[in-house]
Amino acid sequence: MRRLTPYLLALPSWMWLGIFLVVPMAAMASVSLQTGNAIDGFAMTFSFSNYTDALGRYSPQLLRSLLYGGLATGAMLVIGYPVAYWIAFKGGARKSMYLFLLLLPFFVSFVLRTISWGFLLADDGVLFGPLKSWGVLPAGFHVLATTFAVVGGLTYNFLPFMILPIYVALERVDPRVIEAAYDLYASRTAAFRRVVLPLSLPGVFAGVLMTFVPATADPVNAQILGGTSNTMIGNIIQTQYLTNLDYPTASALSFTLMAVLLVGIFIYAKALGTENVLEAAAR
Amino acid sequence: MDPSINPALLRGMTQARTRRDAFRIAGLSAAGLALAACGVQGKKAAPPKADAVKEFWAKQTKHGRVVFANWPEYMPENQAPLKKFQQATGISYEYKEVIQENAEFFGKADPVLRAGQSLGFDIVVMTNGVQLQHMIDLGYVTALDHSQMPNFLANVGDKYKDRAYDPGNVYTMPYTSGVTGIAYNTKYVKDEPKSIEALFDPKYKGRVGMMSDAQEIANFGMFALGLDPEKSTEADWQKAGAKLKAQRDAGIVRKYYDQSYIDAVSKGDVWISMAWSGDVFQRQLAGEPVKFVVPEEGGTIWTDNMLIPKNAANPLDALMLMDYLYQPAVAAELDEFIQYVTPVPAVQDLLRENAAKATGEAKKSLEDMVDSPLMFPSEADYAKLRTYTKLNTKQEQVFNPIFQSITQA
């Protein structure tokens, strides 16, 4: 009995994984290989051509999603790292207040925030209307319905998920280590590059993971802020599933997206040296 | 690496399986079997037999409650018509504004109804179109009992008794109709666009809004080419697709919109857009600079319909409420708020009487409503209006990609 106890204790989480991860994934894998339609039913035909067809038709949107996800993640890193650094090292006693302020907008629903950007950035809205009437901006200037708007929206919406892990990593850096670097005649740049940055890499790794994946798969920003050629793979999956009831294509696309993201993450993990990163993160 | 000298592979091929391996293999094969076994069942249903319908309704009793799922802005905020129904019949109601889009609603309802469960709604409202067709084909809709809908039969217009998508009102009762036409922002577009060609005019480059719904946009492509969507063929769809693709590639379209088009056109993000009549009329009364026209080539008339989904808990109460709404006085009260086309023609006279009694602002807006061709289209207006292309499942698989490859490039 005693030996069984740990397994029994872990049972709920295994069941959770089984019911909410393994079963749906298996069902989705199965559906992705079926053919038919929603009225007459779908039957398993091991139709691997669902994958090739879907990829053939939607590879532009898939590549675009990876590009947008990548651009947004890059932008988040550039914006987020200094913010996290500043809060961790210069935040002083107000650290928790800064973090709270950072999170405050995210108490509002994701979709509502994105729609609000649509209002703010309207061609003749509160922001651009006056600028246009003063002649600062040309009359035809617009931000909505452009790639910039979509990538900007993604960057804004996922930013805290980049900042928080980096902050946690930086927060744990022992100040004595940095002091030691100075004692050993390191310049400020060298101390950052050779001590602080490597120690914060686990945070960066986690941040990139937590932002790149959802940003790439996101349908909301493209739909609300995008134009005629900003459709992302998430929008396609949604349309296939809800509008066309083409469950096989939707499942095949979801799996393809998942596979591409996993491969991407593995390559990225290899490049950063996972062993080190995971060890450091587990410390 | 040559697999024959891969040590791990060699070991795997030659060594005895441990018990753990056996479990693993068993698990994998079980998963494989499960995968092969679980298809999604088809539910195509034959039309109901008259006896079966009669038998079903004979068993129903009044439960004293009803749940009504509808679209936003389809009921006055004080819910007066429903309150009166409650007083008259003693049936308490729950009114939920949960339907925003046909496709999304159907996508969510399908698995529930497929599994034989109840949606938790006794009345739902859906537009004539592919999704409603699916609901009927899949047997998700309860056939109505015509002996228990006297108000409907007495008061509804003839046009609404013989609709191509539900001849003889076997399954649905029309809630309200509307027209898809063109809205324009009067601040930017000075002369009223009369032709559908305005949507293709390079003058409005980047300022044109089109709808993302495949059927809506397909109709406008076909109108522009002088084709009738009801009689259209695959070749027509291809032509309409080419026309719409050229419009997109020339940068004329700013975006393919869902319901959000109305904000875009009233804010001025787009100057001219495909639009639904009632939306524009409501904004106009609110003082926003938008106007609606039905282009001379044609517009789309659609109807939102009430139906009782399969496995609804209170079908008799639902039928009573649906029928209640066709009393002219109730229909007038509803239409005064909704401002789309009512299926009850007597409403126009009632609103005219109300206007005669009213004074000031209220009188003006009631008079506007009575005279509006958008609320009470004349025969000449109706002659310009077309419905959606009727599609079977196979045609849908051709139709959707043609137009979605434009709206979701």
* Of A231, A250, A225, residue with least CA distance to A240: A250
Quote the strand ranges of B161-242, DSSP E. Answer: 162-163, 166-167, 172-185, 208-211
Q: Which of A29, A118, A124 comes nearest B268 by C-beta?
A: A124
Residue B255, both tokens: 């975006």
Residue B279 inside a domain? The answer is yes
Nearest-angstrom CA–CA distance, A215 and B246? 31
Q: Does B394 share its domain with B283? A: yes
Nearest-angstrom CA–CA distance, A263 and A257? 10
Q: How far is A192 from chain B (nearest CA, A)?
A: 42
Q: Is the pLDDT of residue B2 over 50?
A: no
Please list every residue in chain B whose beta carbon sits closer than 8 Å to the beta carbon of residue A231. Answer: 408-409
Residue B18 inside a domain? The answer is no
Residue B118 inside a domain? The answer is yes
Q: How far is A53 from chain B (nearest CA, A)?
A: 13
Tell me the three state secondary structure of residue B204. Answer: helix
Residues, chain B: 409
B35 touches chain A (CB under 8 A): yes
Q: Is the pLDDT of residue B50 over 90?
A: no
Mutate to test the interface with A, among B33, B35, B403 (most CBs of A within 10 A): B35
Q: Does B186 share its domain with B76? A: no
Q: Does B169 share its domain with B187? A: no
Q: Which of B137, B258, B400 comes nearest A244 by C-beta?
A: B400
Residue B377 inside a domain? The answer is no
Nearest-angstrom CA–CA distance, B398 and B240? 13
Q: Tell me, what's the pLDDT at B36? A: 47
B408 touches chain A (CB under 8 A): yes
Q: Note whether A158 and A71 are within 8 A (CB).
A: no
Q: How many CB atoms lie within 10 A of CB B116?
A: 9
Q: Tell me, what's the pLDDT at B237? A: 96
Which DSSP string do the residues of B134-147 spell out, in sequence order?
A: HHHHTT-BPPP-GG
Q: Tell me, what's the pLDDT at B111? A: 87
Residue B162 inside a domain? The answer is yes
Q: What percent of chain B has pLDDT over 70?
A: 89
pLDDT band at B12 (very low <50, low <70, confident <90, very high): very low
Q: Do A40 and B206 touch (CB under 8 A)?
A: no
Q: Do A239 and B408 touch (CB under 8 A)?
A: yes
Q: Tell me, what's the pLDDT at B409? A: 86
Residue B147, both tokens: 């002996």
Amino acid letter, residue A172 = R
Q: Tell me, what's the pLDDT at A276? A: 57
Q: Do A244 and B396 touch (CB under 8 A)?
A: yes
Q: Does B261 share its domain with B396? A: yes
Residue B375 inside a domain? The answer is no
Nearest-angstrom CA–CA distance, A220 and A115? 9
Mutate to test the interface with B, among A143, A245, A253 (most CBs of B within 10 A): A245
Nearest-angstrom CA–CA distance, B392 and B130? 8
Q: Tell me, what's the pLDDT at B275? A: 94
pLDDT band at B165 (very low <50, low <70, confident <90, very high): confident
Residue B36 inside a domain? The answer is no
Residue B383, both tokens: 């002659």
pLDDT band at B1 (very low <50, low <70, confident <90, very high): very low
Q: What percent of chain B has pLDDT over 90?
A: 58
Range from A217-231, B32-46, B269-283 carrying the lowest mean pLDDT: B32-46
Q: Does B230 share its domain with B362? A: no
- In this structure, what DSSP letter does residue B334 have? H
Nearest-angstrom CA–CA distance, A224 and A230? 10
- Averaged pLDDT for residues B87-105: 91
Q: Which residue of B has its CA nearest to A243?
A: B103
Q: Which residue of A has its CA nearest to B405?
A: A57
With tokens 């405050």, the residue in question is: A104
B112 touches chain A (CB under 8 A): no
Q: Does B199 share its domain with B312? A: no
Tell me whether residue B284 is exposed, middle or buried, using C-beta atoms within 10 angstroms of its C-beta: 0 to 12, 13 to 18, 19 or more.
buried
Size of interface A-B (CB pairs under 8 A): 108
Q: Does B172 share its domain with B184? A: no
**pTM attached to this predicted model:** 0.83
Q: Do A44 and B255 touch (CB under 8 A)?
A: no
- The values of phi and psi at residue A142, to 5°, are -150, 150
Q: Do A242 and B104 touch (CB under 8 A)?
A: yes
DSSP bridge pairs for B66: B93
Q: Which domains are assigned to chain A?
A: 60-282 (1.10.3720.10)
CATH number, domain with residue B343? 3.40.190.10
Q: Does B172 share its domain with B201? A: no
Considering only residues 240 to 269 of chain B, which have any Cβ-Cβ distance to chain A shorter than 8 Å?
248, 253-256, 258, 260, 263, 267-269
Q: Does B314 share its domain with B294? A: no
Residue B255 inside a domain? The answer is yes
Q: Do A244 and B43 touch (CB under 8 A)?
A: no
Q: Which of B206, B248, B267 comes nearest A125 by C-beta?
A: B267
Spans of chain A below 50 pLDDT: 283
Q: Note whether A212 and A73 are within 8 A (CB).
A: yes
Tell me which residue range forms the domain holding B99.
50-177+302-369
Q: Does B189 share its domain with B252? A: yes
Q: Which of B39, B108, B267 comes nearest A122 by C-beta?
A: B267
Q: Do B260 and A145 touch (CB under 8 A)?
A: no
Q: Does B391 share its domain with B287? A: yes
Q: Which of A31, A124, A242 comes nearest B103 by C-beta?
A: A242
Q: Is the pLDDT of residue B13 over 60?
A: no
B43 touches chain A (CB under 8 A): yes
Q: Does B282 share its domain with B218? A: yes
Q: Tell me, what's the pLDDT at A114? A: 93
Q: Note whether B299 and B179 are within 8 A (CB).
A: yes
Nearest-angstrom CA–CA distance, B237 and B243? 10
Mutate to test the interface with A, among B40, B212, B262 (most CBs of A within 10 A): B40
Q: How far is B14 from chain A (nearest CA, A)?
A: 31
Q: How far is A248 from chain B (nearest CA, A)?
A: 10
Report how many domains make up chain B.
2
